[in-house]
A and B are shown apart, each in its own frame.
Chain A
């Protein structure tokens, strides 16, 4: 089994917030037809959603649940289309481990803290969290600060981290990283 690769996205927080609010409202109203339309579900998946006691029940199922998995995939697809723009994907499966544990990065308290924040999946909306997956985001200002600090450490960092720094510092706006969207 191959290790997943971290990807970097430009995040449009307003659009993600709007999608989240729309999803929340449809679930609260239990408007399954509108929900199926929002998620672009085909006939079979829309029927599956309609057969639930409540639509929210489907959303609470495990990620790997055979009934719910294609609906979660649709939801993530819609979220990506609405609010995320792919900037870069690492070629190295070691990048996450380097970011989380490389001693040069860990010794710099502010850098380590910002990286942990960037990789904290609990800060993502529930529909972008994946069991065993890595993900998180940083606002534009924090991204710039971290990119500058990483750039200063560049000579002491491995190639895969420097490749990330180049993409991370070269983008603009809020940044989201994920390894399984």
Chain B
């Protein structure tokens, strides 16, 4: 697994064998670029070659390995100006205090559609608490459908809430309820429903990616985004 990632990272960054190891002073080509600096005086992110094959999984693996600049470079290379990649790119920029990039990306995150979905994905990635409740309220205010709120409730750590959420989901969207019960709640006698798999994966992928990325950074980003929208 680790070998696979580093092989892929080499392809993504165009690294040569032994070109860079942790603590080594031999920086990759992109890191050695001219002393060109951004307005804020920050060095530019490494330039990425061969990024077409990179994925969010590569970003998350890089971050898990502590390679935050590399993760940002991959995000910059794979970002198409919308969706989860843009959101994570902006959150990573915020985390790195790169105001210039944050300011540039926030309007794109604001345009993310449907707006309720990102707030609920982030809420689903958070532990229960006021922050999560606030995101759910914002999502509902932005038109989150009943099934999405029921799904979130079904993921509660409180058994009573979880059961109530699952019942709501059964009455709102039975196919999705079966899929969530089977995939998220460990009901072994229930089969995921093919009609709901696409909707399930679209939502769950974002939720899981945000959780691994660090939901707190996306919460902070949404605070900025929603503040600007208000």
Interface residues of A (CB under 8 A from B): 20, 24, 27-28, 30, 53-54, 56-57, 59-62, 65, 67, 125-126, 129
Contact = CB atoms under 8 A, between A and B. Distances in A.
A25 to B, nearest CB: 9
A60 B177 contact: yes
Given A126-B174, A129-B174, A57 B167 contact: no
B161 to A, nearest CB: 10
B166 interface: yes
6 contacts: A20-B171, A28-B167, A54-B166, A60-B174, A60-B190, A125-B171
Interface SS majority for chain B:
helix
B6 interface: no
A61 B182 CA distance: 10
Contact of B189 (A24, A30, A61, A125): A61
Contacts of B168: 28
Contact of A56 (B166, B189, B191): B166
B164 interface: yes
B167 A27 contact: yes
A58 to B, nearest CB: 9
Contacts of B54: none
A24 B181 contact: no
Interface string B128-170: 0000000000000000000000000000000000011011101
Contacts of A67: 189
A31 to B, nearest CB: 12
A129 B173 CA distance: 12
A20 B181 CA distance: 21
Contacts, number: 41
Interface residues of B, number: 15
A116 B117 CA distance: 30
B174 A56 contact: no
Contacts of B177: 60
A65 B163 contact: no
A54 B174 CA distance: 16
B111 to A, nearest CB: 31
A24 B191 contact: no
Contacts of B167: 24, 27-28, 56
A62 B194 CA distance: 12
Given A28-B163, A30-B163, A61 B190 contact: yes
B187 interface: yes
B190 A57 contact: yes
A4 to B, nearest CB: 21
